[in-house]
Structure formats: C-alpha cells, structure tokens
C-alpha cells in the first residue's frame, strides 16, 4: 500500500471503498485487506456479457456471484450486483471481434480496464460516495516526491498485471487501490484460507472471461464466422504454398498447425487482411527491430518530448526487452529494440517500463525489420 493512502485506521474508517468483486481469490482478499485496514468497504460485482457454457471458474457466472456474496457475508460488507452486459458486449466483445476482422490480435482486457472497470465502474463508485475503487489486480500505486501518482508492477513477478493497466491516468490512480499488488499470489491464497474466505481454493481464471467452450478460435467461429474465412498461405516471395483456415486462427510467430511440408520450419510472419493471406517465413524472417504504436498514453499525463531508454513488453507474458522510445506526432511513438524481437503482433499493447514503473504504452500498429 502506498504511503499517502495507507493512513491510520481512524482515518480510513471515514473513507468508503467500493471493491470490484469477481468471486475469485484476489478480489476477495482485496476486500478483506481493506476491511482490516479500517475502510468502510462496499462489494460490487459486475455482470458482464459472456457466451454460455464457459469454464466453471469464470467471472460472473451464478456460481461466482454466490461465491462473492458469501465472501461479502463473511466480511460483513454490503454487496451489490450491477448489470453491465450490454455495455461490455458493445465495448469489449465487439472490439475483440472487430480486431480479428481487421487482421490484428486485440487485447480486450486492456479495453475493459480502460473503458469499463476504470471508467464506467469508477464513475459509478465515486457516485456512490466512494473515496476509492479497489480491484484484485497485481499492481501498485505510489506517490512520487513531486506528488504525481506512479503505476508500479505488482510485487509478484509471475502475476504482475501492470501491463493491463497502462491506460491509467493521474485522475484514475488518485482513486484506485490495488491491495493484493503488495503480495505474492501464494500469500494471497494463504490469506484467503487464514481468513476463512470460502473461495481460497478456487482455481485461477485462465482465459478471456467471455469465452464459451473452447478457445477464442471457436468463439469466433460461433460469433463472427465471417472473420474466419479460409485463404492462401504465401511465402515471403508471394508464392502460394498452402491454405489457411482463417487468419484469426493464427498468431505471429506460430509454427505448429500450418499444415505445410517445407524443408525447414516455417513461422507466421504477417497477416494481410486485404487479400486474406497468411505470410510464412523461416526463423530468419521472424525478428523485428522496430515498431510503431498508436493511441500512446502516459500514466504521468505528460507527453514525452524526446527519446528515452526503456524496457518494453510487447505482450502480457513476454520478456521485457531494452529499447529506445521516440515520440511521434498524433499520439504515436516508435520503438527501436537493441536486439531483434520475435513475435511482435499488431493489435497487442506495448507497455513501457523503467525499473518497476509502468510509464505508459500504446497499441502496436506496424513492425519493421
């Protein structure tokens, strides 16, 4: 917990915190920690759009609602459920489908955080008299010496979710608490057990919360069949060497499942949505040295004026790589990596770090050798 927000219990007791609860371990312990810290805590669960028949541990199933309600009862806090189905569908799910229709690989969680959780829900929390909104994200908020808020990685490197939160702004961070970001996942599970929260052994959610049975590919087949049309597989010289089942089925850098009989291993290097073509190449074609990003934002709210050295994360689970970040016009930026990086994927977010601080990020637009 950051220094400014963690005050004595007496001060906290006059502060109301709305906790976004999912019925999972992390948000349940987040609520428990806030109760311990003396806040007036209110549990709120969002009902989001989802396909039928998904995994049982998914958020906002009737089971998850019951779990969250039981946790709220154990903690003695009020608990409410809000229906955000429509806005979630039109904002997040449609964005996800549109991304695949445009041949990119979208990250719906980032959009959900930007436009649902930390926009609409945050406004609702403040409207309810909340001083803060808290979630179970593994990230931290710190006040710098100049009074600005910084977004920091969660302390557990295997669970850090700061990547998903790079769109946070000063206004938002001033109102956010991430109580579990100070702890490791195993500690959080232990706390859930110690506090007798009835969800301590609930498995972690793995996939996108709105998917029904199967993965995102079968989701697209059911919900946007027009996005998954078969087409040609081309080599880097433009010769057709096979047929693909739909661009959405492949990710940049993918090797398996291409159905090619080539003398050397072949990898997906590009998707050309205009011609519905999948371009494959050898390992030598994979590495990219630069990218441009659009919709670039900085947590500080201060636009970057000159190039800086950063560590970049090009996917949620990617290793960080050293790069130089250069601001461009129209909220764009370019990144030049010290070493070529594999699997840079348009549509995914690139997030900029210095040490533990997430400076900001943007959406990957183009890559270049």
Partner 1 sequence: MPTKRSIYLDYAASTPTDPQVVEAMLPYFTDIYGNASGAHAQARASAQAIDDARHSVAAVLGCDPEEIVFTACGTEADNLAIRGVAWAKKQLGEGNHLITTPIEHHAVSHTFNQLCERFGFEQTIVPVDSHGVVDPHAIAAAIRPETTLISVMYANNEVGSVQPIADIGALARSRGIAFHTDAVQAAGYESLSVNSLNVDLLAISGHKIYAPKGIGILYVRRGTNLLPTLTGGGHEMNRRPGTENVPYIVGIAKALELVERKRDTENLRQRELRDKLIDGVLNNIPGSQVTGHPTRRLPNSASFVFSGCEADPILMHLDLAGIQAASGSACTTGNPEPSHVLTAMGIPHELGLSALRMSVGRQTREADIDAVLEILPDVIEKVRQLNPTYQMMS
Rounded Cα–Cα distance for residues 183 and 36 (Å): 15
**In contact, 60 and 52? CB cutoff 8 Å:** no
Based on the shown chain and the rule CB under 8 A, indicate whether residue 10 belongs to the binding site for partner 1: no
Does the protein bind partner 1 through residue 259 (CB under 8 A)? no
Q: How far is the CB of 202 from partner 1 (least distance, A)?
A: 23
Widest Cα–Cα separation across the chain:
72
**Token pair listed for 256:** 């398996």
With CB under 8 A as the contact rule, the residue among 129, 259, 301, 303 that binds partner 1 is: 129
**Structural contact between residues 136 and 29, judged by C-beta atoms closer than 8 angstroms:** yes
Nearer to partner 1, 40 or 156 (CB): 40
- Known catalytic residue at 112: yes
**What does the alpha-carbon distance between residue 281 and residue 264 come to, in Å, rounded to a whole number?**
10
Single residue of 123, 222, 255, 309 touching partner 1 by CB under 8 A = 123
Triad 300, 305, 306: Cα angle to 5°: 120
One of 69, 70, 85, 102 touching partner 1 (CB under 8 A): 85
CB of 84 or CB of 166, closer to partner 1? 84
Q: By CB under 8 A, tell whether 90 contacts partner 1.
A: no
124 is written with which tokens?
């609702």
Asked whether position 82 contacts partner 1 by CB under 8 A, the answer is yes
| 209 is an active site residue | yes
The residues with which 288 forms a beta bridge, in sequence order, are: 341
Q: Which stretch binds partner 1 (CB under 8 A): 119-127, 138-146, 153-161, 347-355?
A: 119-127
Tokens of 263: 């003398």
**Rule CB under 8 A: is residue 203 a binding residue for partner 1?**
no
Q: Which stretch binds partner 1 (CB under 8 A): 82-90, 152-160, 295-303, 339-347?
A: 82-90
Position among 12, 22, 29, 40 found at the interface with partner 1 (CB under 8 A):
40
DSSP annotation string for 282-342: -GGGT-EEEEEEEEEEETTSPPP-S-EEEEEESSTTPPPEEEEEEEETTTEEEEEEEEEES
The site for partner 1 (CB under 8 A) is made up of: 40-42, 47, 76-78, 80-83, 85-86, 120, 123-124, 127-129
């Amino acid at each position: 917990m950051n220094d400014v927000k963690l005050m004595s219990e007496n001060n906290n007791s006059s502060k109301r915190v709305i906790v976004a609860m999912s019925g999972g371990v992390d948000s349940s312990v987040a609520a428990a920690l806030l109760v311990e810290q003396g806040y007036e805590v209110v549990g709120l669960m969002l009902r989001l759009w989802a396909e039928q028949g998904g995994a049982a541990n998914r958020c906002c199933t009737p089971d998850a609602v019951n779990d969250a309600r039981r946790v709220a009862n154990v903690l003695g806090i009020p608990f409410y459920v809000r229906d955000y189905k429509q806005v979630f569908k039109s904002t997040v799910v449609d964005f996800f489908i549109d991304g695949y229709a445009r041949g990119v690989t979208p990250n719906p969680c980032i959009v959900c955080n930007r436009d649902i959780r930390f926009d609409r829900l945050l406004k609702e929390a403040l409207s309810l008299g909340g001083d803060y909104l808290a979630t179970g994200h593994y990230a931290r908020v710190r006040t710098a010496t100049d009074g600005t808020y910084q977004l920091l990685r969660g302390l557990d490197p295997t669970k850090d979710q700061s990547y998903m939160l790079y769109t946070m702004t000063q206004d938002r961070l001033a109102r956010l608490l991430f109580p579990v970001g100070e702890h490791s996942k195993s500690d959080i599970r232990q706390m859930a057990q110690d506090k007798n929260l009835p969800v301590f052994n609930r498995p972690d959610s793995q996939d996108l919360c709105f998917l029904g049975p199967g993965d995102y590919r079968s989701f697209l087949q059911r919900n946007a069949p027009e996005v998954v049309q078969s087409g040609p597989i081309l080599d880097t010289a433009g010769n057709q060497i096979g047929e693909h089942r739909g661009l959405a089925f492949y990710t940049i850098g993918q090797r398996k499942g291409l159905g090619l009989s080539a003398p050397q291993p072949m990898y997906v290097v590009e998707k050309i949505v205009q011609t519905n073509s999948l371009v494959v190449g050898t390992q030598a074609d994979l590495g990219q040295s630069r990218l441009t990003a659009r919709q670039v934002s900085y947590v500080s709210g201060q636009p970057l004026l000159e190039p800086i050295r950063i560590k970049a994360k090009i996917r949620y689970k990617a290793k960080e790589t050293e790069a130089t970040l250069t601001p461009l016009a129209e909220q764009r930026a370019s990144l030049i990596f010290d070493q070529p990086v594999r699997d840079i994927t348009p549509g995914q977010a690139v997030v900029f770090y210095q040490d533990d601080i997430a400076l900001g990020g943007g959406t990957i637009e183009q890559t270049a050798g």
